[in-house]
Amino acid sequence: MSRATVPLPGIDHPLILMRDIEAGRAFYARLGFTVTPVGRHPWGTSTALAVLERSALELMGIYDESLIDGLETGGFRFGRHMRDALAEREGMALVALHSRDVSGDGAAMAGRGIATQGRIDFRRKVKPPGLDWDEAVVSLQILLDPALPRVSHFLAQQHKPHLLWVPDWMRHANGATHVAAVTYLAEDPAPVCARLGRMFGGGPAAFAAEFPTEFPTGQGHFRVLRPADWPAAFGATPMPRLTPGEPGGAAIDVAVRDLAVARAVLAGAGVATVETAAGPAIADVAGCGNVVIRFVRACAGAAGRGA
């Protein structure tokens, strides 16, 4: 199969690091999301999800620092990576890419020049609504670029997807359906665009000198902006606090079925928004976990996640 015909992995879930995950759950509930109870990873991180139809938002904290070096692969320790990133600041860390075959997709990414540290297999206890306690079985393939730690990714494969994509968890008052876009900010966009070009485009030379630049994936797209481009894309929405000189994730566009319904939910909860050309953005960037959450209109006929 040629590279042109290999299906591209899509955005599965951005990871939003928060120091108080319960406060984060409460805030995202005010935004109209149904948020799962807090679960635990074996490497010491806590997790809560807004499970959408084709992707998710993951809130992540630390519950036990003594476990952060568990399940190492290729020198990468998931818990330590998250602990160190959160110690620096809240906000978007890695972005998970949807996979049905992490080994095959990892090999494809390596063939495109993307570093991979290896595979992690783990289980965690879950109790979906209406079901007994069970174990989610998950495989990850780490795609960390040490030069771009806040613009790195991993492939995620759910071996028991029915334990995550549960109808009761996927019903959101705001009508959210999927993550439509993740926006990265970079003073020098070239390294970020080179990485995304290798992953999802025609290679490092596939981007033009004009910015912003967008990279379609198997579901959703990545957007790269310079800080000077922010007002054109996000209007008066406050910019998240990022590490000076380091590219990082700044915003997540969440597609909803009806923007009027989403606006009504936000107004009813007393959540202030900033209107942008694409839709309302949440003004309380800190409440969102040092990331901008913006609601945009879902495109009709968009492809689903699949099994």
Cα 249 to Cα 218: distance, rounded to the nearest angstrom: 19
CA-based radius of gyration for the chain: 18
The per-residue pLDDT of the chain, averaged, comes to: 92
Q: What confidence tens digit (pLDDT) does each residue in 211-266 have? A: 558 999 999 999 999 999 999 999 999 999 999 999 999 999 999 999 999 999 99
Residue 182 burial (C-beta neighbours within 10 Å; 0-12, 13-18, 19+)? buried
Residue with tokens 């310079």: 226
Structure token digits, residue 286: 């800190």
**Tokens linked to 216:** 């379609």
**Residue 89: burial class (beta carbons within 10 Å; 0-12, 13-18, 19+):** middle
Contact 155, 99 (CB under 8 A): yes
What is the predicted pLDDT for the residue at 306? Answer: 40
300 Cβ contact partners less than 8 Å away, ≥ 6 residues apart: none
Compute the C-alpha angle 226/216/252, nearest 5°: 55
The token pair that represents 12 in the structure block: 């599965």
Residue range 176-297, CATH number: 3.10.180.10
Look at residue 210 in the predicted model and tell me its pLDDT: 56
The CATH number of 3-170, from 3.10.180.10, 3.90.1170.20, 1.10.10.410, 3.40.50.12780, is 3.10.180.10
pLDDT digits (tens, 9 = 90+) for 90-131: 999 999 999 999 999 999 999 999 999 999 999 999 999 988
State mean pLDDT over 284-307. 79
pLDDT for 203:
46
Q: What is the pTM of this model?
A: 0.93
Residues 6+ away with beta carbon under 8 Å from 107: none
Identical fold at 3-170 and 176-297? yes
- 3-state SS, the chain, equals CCHHHCCCCCEEEEEEECCCHHHHHHHHHHCCCCCCCCEECCCCEEEEEEECCCCEEEEEEECCHHHCCCCCECCECHHHHHHHHHHHCCEEEEEEEECCCHHHHHHHHHHCCCCCCEEEEEEEEECCCCCCCEEEEEEEEEECCCCCHHHCEEEEEECCHHHCCCHHHHCCCCCEEEEEEEEEECCCCHHHHHHHHHHHCCCHHHCCCCCCEEEECCCCEEEEECHHHHHHHHCCCCCCCCCCCCCEEEEEEEEECCHHHHHHHHHHCCCCEEECCCCEEECCCCCCCCCEEEEEECCCCCCCCCC
Fill in the amino acid letter for 7: P
The pLDDT, as a whole number, for residue 212 is: 53
Task: Tell me the sheet residues that pair with 125.
Answer: 135
Instruction: Name the percent of the chain lying above pLDDT 90.
Output: 87
Per-residue confidence band for 2, with pLDDT thresholds at 50, 70 and 90? very low
pLDDT score of 204: 46
**In whole angstroms, what is the distance from residue 66 CA to residue 57 CA?**
26
Residue closest to 15 by CA, chosen among 42, 55, 54? 55
Report the distance separating Cα 79 and Cα 219, nearest Å. Answer: 27
* Per-residue confidence (pLDDT) for residue 8, from 0 to 100: 75
Every domain of the chain and the residues it spans: 3-170, 176-297
Give the pLDDT score at 299. Answer: 80
What is the per-residue pLDDT across 178-216, written as a single tens digit (0 to 9) for each?
Answer: 999 999 999 999 999 999 999 997 544 444 555 558 999
Is residue 293 within 8 A of residue 256, CB to CB? The reply is no
Q: CA 156, CA 178: separation in Å to the nearest integer?
A: 16
- Tell whether the model's pLDDT for residue 4 goes beyond 50: no
Q: Of 111, 158, 121, which is closest to residue 141 (Cα–Cα)?
A: 121
Contact at 8 Å (CB) between 164 and 41?
Answer: no
